[in-house]
């Protein structure tokens, strides 16, 4: 028996097998597990930040009985997740695990705009995320191809622009109650919902619904193709401010850990106007006391403690470096590694290839703290996988693209890097096989 045979995903920070195998003792739900709370986890490094200490745990198993030590509820929940995975075997060796995540922000972004995915699909995704120790579900709620979130003050958005999608599919949208429900389901699983409405680009659906957002008053058709950079808000229109205030004011109560304002690929927005529009959107989130999250292009506008999501290494990244110097927190989402809508291999039916193909190994073997030259490694606070859905229409297709690559991203988010010690990839691959998640790169 090696630790890989136990199939833990993600791999714990430190783990040693200390004795023989025993059958599990006690009841299956683990109600009788001994939990020692409000107790510092022994063995963490000096200087471990508060958030990390709160998520840390020690799990000791002796003769089939488990004991958890943690400072707080988050640590206990993390320990119980590991215990659930161990419990899928009939017997268990004596062992000691000391575990803590490297990154506080461990996310997945799902595009429900290009094709719509509803509550049931998103709960299925959250179940997988919870098993992998991921804690942020970012929802891309609007784009050129559809508007997917009810905004009670602006009902035209869903009335006129929710019934479309890429290629002319049926569309759909989340009501406010649906979003409340998802937030509540997330709380049960340790996952915060991060709502995103993407501005000032990616807005054809909004321009279609609201004539006043168009300087000439002419409404474009909702777009069913997959080009980007084709639309923009315009400043100094009364409707633009009403739109930004109505939308972000509505999202803020749902975004406990922050609200994403987009900011990517605004090819039609003049740079100075872009900065002012992004600052205006950010202002509504800041006024509510919530962190702003934005894609890398919005770097000049973000403030200390806010989150910048880096996705495209081909762009000029000097603004990102500069933002990191100001204390902006970086979320690593390099498209070449964690865009799980990229095909596994060229001959697959699903997915795109603009950032290349991405095998399981490529999703695993990278280091978020070495994202690109010149970025302070200490500025990286998170890792987030993304799945855009231009080619993805069903829950089966969504889960096919996510797994097992999401397990690779989760392990990087917990361990800090998928490269380093010899045999690390082989260990990961072995554990993916134990959990029966293995699939050849191309079906």
Rule CB under 6 A: which residues touch ligand ACM?
A: 264-265, 295, 311
Rounded CA-CA distance 169/392 in Å is 11
Laid out side by side, the sheet with 57-62 consists of 14-23, 91-99, 57-62, 65-70, 34-36
Structure token pair of residue 364: 């695993």
Angle, nearest 10°, between helix axes 395-402 and 119-131?
Answer: 20
Task: State the nearest-atom distance from the C-beta of 359 to ligand ACM, in Å.
Answer: 20
Q: Is 45 helix (H, G, I), strand (E, B) or coil?
A: coil
Task: State the nearest-atom distance from the C-beta of 233 to ligand ACM, in Å.
Answer: 16
Structure token pair of residue 143: 């784009």
DSSP string, 253-296: GG-TT-EEEE----TTS-HHHHHHHHHHHHHHHHHTT--EEEEG
Q: Is 59 helix (H, G, I), strand (E, B) or coil?
A: strand
Task: State the nearest-atom distance from the C-beta of 295 to ligand ACM, in Å.
Answer: 5
Could you tell me if 259 and 251 are in contact, meaning their C-beta atoms sit under 8 angstroms apart? yes
Could you tell me if 92 and 20 are in contact, meaning their C-beta atoms sit under 8 angstroms apart? no
Task: State the nearest-atom distance from the C-beta of 267 to ligand ACM, in Å.
Answer: 11
In the bound state with ligand ACM, the residue whose beta carbon lies nearer, of 138 and 431, is: 138
Sign of CA dihedral 276, 196, 233, 166: positive
Task: State the nearest-atom distance from the C-beta of 227 to ligand ACM, in Å.
Answer: 12
> Closest residue to ligand ACM, Cβ-based?
264
In the bound state with ligand ACM, the residue whose beta carbon lies nearer, of 100 and 202, is: 202
| Catalytic residue, candidates 257, 265, 390, 411 | 265
DSSP string, 11-28: PPSEEEEEEEEEE--S-T
Q: Can 265 be counted among the known catalytic residues?
A: yes
Rounded CA-CA distance 135/259 in Å is 15
Task: State the nearest-atom distance from the C-beta of 201 to ligand ACM, in Å.
Answer: 9
Catalytic residues: 265
């Amino acid at each position: 028996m090696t630790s890989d045979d136990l199939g833990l995903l993600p791999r714990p920070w430190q783990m040693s097998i200390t004795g023989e195998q025993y059958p599990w003792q006690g009841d299956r739900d683990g109600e009788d597990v001994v939990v020692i709370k409000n107790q510092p986890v022994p063995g963490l490094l000096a200087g471990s930040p508060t958030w990390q200490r709160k998520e840390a745990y020690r799990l000791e198993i002796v003769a089939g009985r488990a004991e958890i030590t943690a400072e707080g509820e988050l640590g206990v929940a993390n320990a119980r997740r590991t215990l659930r995975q161990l419990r899928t075997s009939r017997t268990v060796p004596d062992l000691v695990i000391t575990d803590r995540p490297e990154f506080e922000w461990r996310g997945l972004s799902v595009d429900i705009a290009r094709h719509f995915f509803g509550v049931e699909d998103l709960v299925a995704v959250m179940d997988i995320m919870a098993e992998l120790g991921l804690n942020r579900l970012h929802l891309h709620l609007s784009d050129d191809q559809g508007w997917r979130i009810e905004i009670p003050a602006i009902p035209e958005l869903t009335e006129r622009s929710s019934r479309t999608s890429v290629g002319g599919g049926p569309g759909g949208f989340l009501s406010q109650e649906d979003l409340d429900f998802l937030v509540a389901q997330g709380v049960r699983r340790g996952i915060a919902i991060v709502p995103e409405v993407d501005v000032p680009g990616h807005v054809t659906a909004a321009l279609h619904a609201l004539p006043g957002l168009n300087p000439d008053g002419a409404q474009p058709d909702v777009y069913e193709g997959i080009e980007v950079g084709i639309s923009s808000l315009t400043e100094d229109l009364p409707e633009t401010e009403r739109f930004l205030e109505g939308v972000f004011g509505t999202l803020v109560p749902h975004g406990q850990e922050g609200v994403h304002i987009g900011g990517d690929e605004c090819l039609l927005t003049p740079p100075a106007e872009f900065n002012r529009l992004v600052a205006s959107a950010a202002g509504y989130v800041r006024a509510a006391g919530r962190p702003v999250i934005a894609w890398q292009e919005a770097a000049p506008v973000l403030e200390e403690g806010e989150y910048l999501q880096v996705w495209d290494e081909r762009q000029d990244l000097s603004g990102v470096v500069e933002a990191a110097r100001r204390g902006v927190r970086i979320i690593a989402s390099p498209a070449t590694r964690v865009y799980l809508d990229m095909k596994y291999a060229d001959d697959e039916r699903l997915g795109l290839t603009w950032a290349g193909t991405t095998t399981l190994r490529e999703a695993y073997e990278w280091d978020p703290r070495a994202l690109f030259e010149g970025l302070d490694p200490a500025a990286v606070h998170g890792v987030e996988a993304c799945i855009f859905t231009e080619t993805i229409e069903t829950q089966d297709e969504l889960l096919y693209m996510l797994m097992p690559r999401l397990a690779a991203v989760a392990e990087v988010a917990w361990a800090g890097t998928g490269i380093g010690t010899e045999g690390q990839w082989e260990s990961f691959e072995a554990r993916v096989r134990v959990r029966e998640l293995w699939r050849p790169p191309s079906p």
